[in-house]
Amino acid sequence: MRTFNVRRARFIALCLLPGVVFVALFTYYPVLRGAVMAFQQYNLFDLTSTPFVGLENFRAVLGEDRFWTALRNTGTWVVVSLFFQFFLGFGLALLLRRHFRGRGLYQAWVFFPWAMSGFLIGLLWRWMFNGQFGVINDLLLKTGIIDQRIGFLASPGWAMTSVIVANVWYGVTFFAIMIMAALQSVPKELYEAASVDGASRLRQFWHVTLPHIRPTLALIVLLRIIWILNFPDLIYSMTGGGPAGSTDIITTFLIQQVIGGDYGRAGAVGLLILGLLLSFSVFYLNATRFEKSR
C-alpha cells in the first residue's frame, strides 16, 4: 500500500514537472531577472558593462513627474473602469440569467469582446473615436446630439474618458460571465424558502443572492483590479499614453522605459508595480476575510 502511494506521488510529481518547469522559466525567472536589473545600469545601448548601481534606478523613476502623473491616472483608470464594469456586468448577468428566446445568441454576443486581444480592441476603438473619420462622431452628428466633431482622443479629458469607455465595453463581459456562474450556484431551495416567508424579489436578492455570491464577488473584484492595472494594451494602442501623458498609467510608463532601452529603470518600475499590487492584495484579502468572519 505504502509503495503504491509513493509510486503515485512520484507519478503525480512527474506529471507536474513540465508545468513547474514552464512556470519557473517563463514567470519566476523573468521576475527575478527583472528584479536584479532594477539594481543595475542596464541600458540596451551598451550591455558590455552592467554595473550594480544600488537604488539609483528607483531614485530616477520616483523623481519623475511623469511617474506620479501615471500613478494618479492609474487610480482613475482602475476605479472608474471597475465601477462601471462591475455594475453593468452585474446587470447583464441578472438579465441573462432569465430564460428568453435567443438567450444563447445574446450570451455569445455579450461575451464576444472577451475573446479579442486588448491591442486589437484598442485599434478598433481608436478608429471609432477618431475625431475626423470616426463612426462615433458621425453618429452623434447625425442624431443631432453634437453640432461639431469632438476630438475624443485629442483632448486630455476626453482621452481618459474614451479609453475607460473602451475598457468598460471589454471588461463588462468578464463580470457578466463570473457573476452568472455565481448566480447559478445559489440553491433554488433558498429562494423557495424566502418566497414562502413572503420576501419580495428585492429582499431575496439582498438577503439570499448577495450573501451567497459575496466571496466570489470579492475574488473577481480583486482579480479584475489586478488585471485592469496590468492592462496597458488597450491604452497603448488607443492613445500611446497621450495626449501629453494624460492617459498614461504605470504599465504604459513601464513600456516607455523598455522602448527607451533602459531595462534598469524598467525593472525598477516593474518592482514598484509588484510591490503596489502585493500590498493591495494583502490588504484587500485581509479586509474581505474580516468581512467573511463577521
- Summarize as ranges the residues that interact with another protein (CB under 8 A): 25-26, 29, 33, 43-48, 66, 130-133, 149, 151, 153-156, 159, 239-245, 256, 258-262
Among 177, 81, 170, residue whose Cα is nearest residue 117? 170
Among 217, 214, 234, residue whose Cα is nearest residue 175? 217
Q: Which of residues 204 and 247 has its CB atom nearest to another protein in the complex?
A: 247
Nearest distance in Å: CB 142, another protein? 14
Beta bridge partners of 40: 52
Nearest distance in Å: CB 189, another protein? 48
Q: How far is CA 119 from the centre of its chain?
A: 14
Nearest distance in Å: CB 114, another protein? 22
CA-CA distance, 294 to 292, in Å (whole number)? 5
Q: Which three cell numbers stand for residue 39?
A: 539594481
CA-CA distance, 290 to 288, in Å (whole number)? 5
Q: Which of residues 112 and 133 has its CB atom nearest to another protein in the complex?
A: 133
Q: Which of residues 38 and 220 has its CB atom nearest to another protein in the complex?
A: 38
Q: Which three cell numbers stand for residue 50?
A: 552592467
How many CB atoms are located within 10 Å of the residue 40 CB?
A: 19
Among 118, 75, 28, residue whose Cα is nearest residue 280? 75
Q: Which of residues 94 and 154 has its CB atom nearest to another protein in the complex?
A: 154
Nearest distance in Å: CB 157, another protein? 11
What phi, psi does 262 have (nearest 5°)? -95, 90
Nearest distance in Å: CB 48, another protein? 6
CA-CA distance, 279 to 228, in Å (whole number)? 16
Q: Which of residues 89 and 241 has its CB atom nearest to another protein in the complex?
A: 241
Q: Which of residues 154 and 217 has its CB atom nearest to another protein in the complex?
A: 154
Nearest distance in Å: CB 44, another protein? 6
Nearest distance in Å: CB 166, another protein? 14
- Counted residue by residue, the chain has a size of 294
CA-CA distance, 174 to 191, in Å (whole number)? 26
Q: Which of residues 89 and 232 has its CB atom nearest to another protein in the complex?
A: 232
